Amino acid sequence: EDKVVQSPLSLVVHEGDTVTLNCSYEVTNFRSLLWYKQEKKAPTFLFMLTSSGIEKKSGRLSSILDKKELFSILNITATQTGDSAVYLCAVGSGTYKYIFGTGTRLKVLA
């Protein structure tokens, strides 16, 4: 059975800290891995990863995929209170299906 596991489930840090969020997966026919940020409402897209070892960066956020060990990490440096959210990982499997993890809830304290 396909599955996506995110860790930790939740995390509390102080502003300025660096955090690493993990996403491991077991899926048949891996196609892509996506990271989303979900605040009060709609998940918003962060990164899409398809190849191992290529880091994607956007400001203080970065992500990398390891297709051999079947995981991805999302790093956030110099965290701010606005980074507080649930971070979702989704893995594309087969022709149409995304399997979502349950998310990591990040709280950044001022």
Contacts with another protein, residue ranges (CB under 8 A): 4, 31-32, 34, 36, 41-45, 48, 88, 90, 92, 95-98, 100-103
Closer residue to another protein (CB): 15 or 39: 39
Q: How far is the CB of 18 from another protein (least distance, A)?
A: 25
Residue 107, number of CB atoms within 10 A of its CB: 13
Per-residue buried b or exposed e for 42-66, using 16+ beta carbons within 10 Å of the residue's own CB: ebeebbebeeeeeebeeeebbbbbe
Closer of 36 and 64 to another protein (Cβ) = 36
Residue nearer to another protein on the CB measure, 79 or 106: 106
